[in-house]
A = this chain, B = another copy of it.
Amino acid sequence: MLRRIEADVRPQIGAGQVAAYIPALSCVDPNRFGMAIADLDGKVYGVGDWRQPFSTQSITKVFALALALAQGGDDLWERVGREPSGNPFNSLVQLEYENGIPRNPFINAGALVVTDRLQTLTGDASSELLEFLRQESGNPDVTFDPEVAASESDHGDRNAALAHFMASYGNIANPIPALLDHYFWQCSIEMNCADLALATRFLARHGLRADGTRLLPRRLAKQINAVMLTCGTYDAAGEFAYRVGLPGKSGVGGGIVAVVPGVCTVCVWSPGLDPQGNSVAGIAALDRFTTLTGLSVF
């Protein structure tokens, strides 16, 4: 089936624009395509460049959210909402009208609040996240890309603006330069499709980690899936629900993870992005996946 999907979406591989907002991302080959499926027991099936590491970017926001909820519980929701944004993912407008409370944990402002919370809870947000991803993927080579982190930092004025703006409303607890560093490191983590499909499994397993211990209560795991469905693909969450019908989270590196609760996880990667910042071939592949399997939640 993965080979059939790859064949079906071949015309769209290379379409769209590779992310160019930082130099470190702009030189990726737009013709790459990989896809991996992990079942509940950790067996992985892949096609194409599914073993090729890429920059996870915003996909790591899901794992940071899970860790912050696992360690700190529902208090987080007093500082960040759970509603779709209806605006581009780094908008200040809405933040101003809503007194420094970001709409959801997957827009940049909300992810900064999550990282700030995780930093308070753990003292080292980005290391905690990296360790989690290594354990869940079973791949000890998962690591930061210092070049990407530095490039993010060099072009980080908008995230700095978001952090200072929320701080002016009392919604940031840690010093902003350190917070931004953790945030940029978090965005720079490199993983491949297999790693990401495996690391996302706890959401298909209703909160159980790879080693069988419980990360999150069943309720919270379902709720993260709900937030992914309504908010996980920037300003195109409605379109993603409409076409794919699964909880998913995309990154401007071209990756997308999706969850079929109780069944499996999927990760697809192709660097060409649509105007909303989601992988063109990636969404097409997930669309084919749910069409062929009937595995949409709807």
- The chain A residues found within 8 Å of chain B, CB to CB, are 81-87, 91-97, 103-104, 155, 157-158, 160-165, 167-168, 219, 222-223, 225-227, 229-231, 235-239, 241-242, 245, 247, 261, 291, 296-298
Contact = CB atoms under 8 A, between A and B. Distances in A.
A49 to B, nearest CB: 29
A228 to B, nearest CB: 9
A238 B165 contact: no
Given A161-B161, A229-B229, A242-B82, A247 B96 contact: no
Nearest to A155: B168
Copies of this chain, count: 4
Contacts of A222: 245, 296, 298
B158 A168 contact: yes
Nearest to A228: B298
A59 to B, nearest CB: 19
Nearest to A94: B86
27 contacts: A81-B238, A82-B242, A83-B86, A83-B236, A83-B238, A84-B86, A84-B230, A86-B87, A86-B103, A92-B165, A93-B97, A157-B165, A157-B167, A161-B161, A161-B162, A226-B238, A226-B241, A226-B242, A226-B296, A226-B298, A227-B238, A229-B229, A230-B230, A230-B237, A230-B238, A247-B298, A297-B298
Contact of A164 (B84, B161, B226, B242): B161
A157 B161 contact: no
Contacts of A162: 161
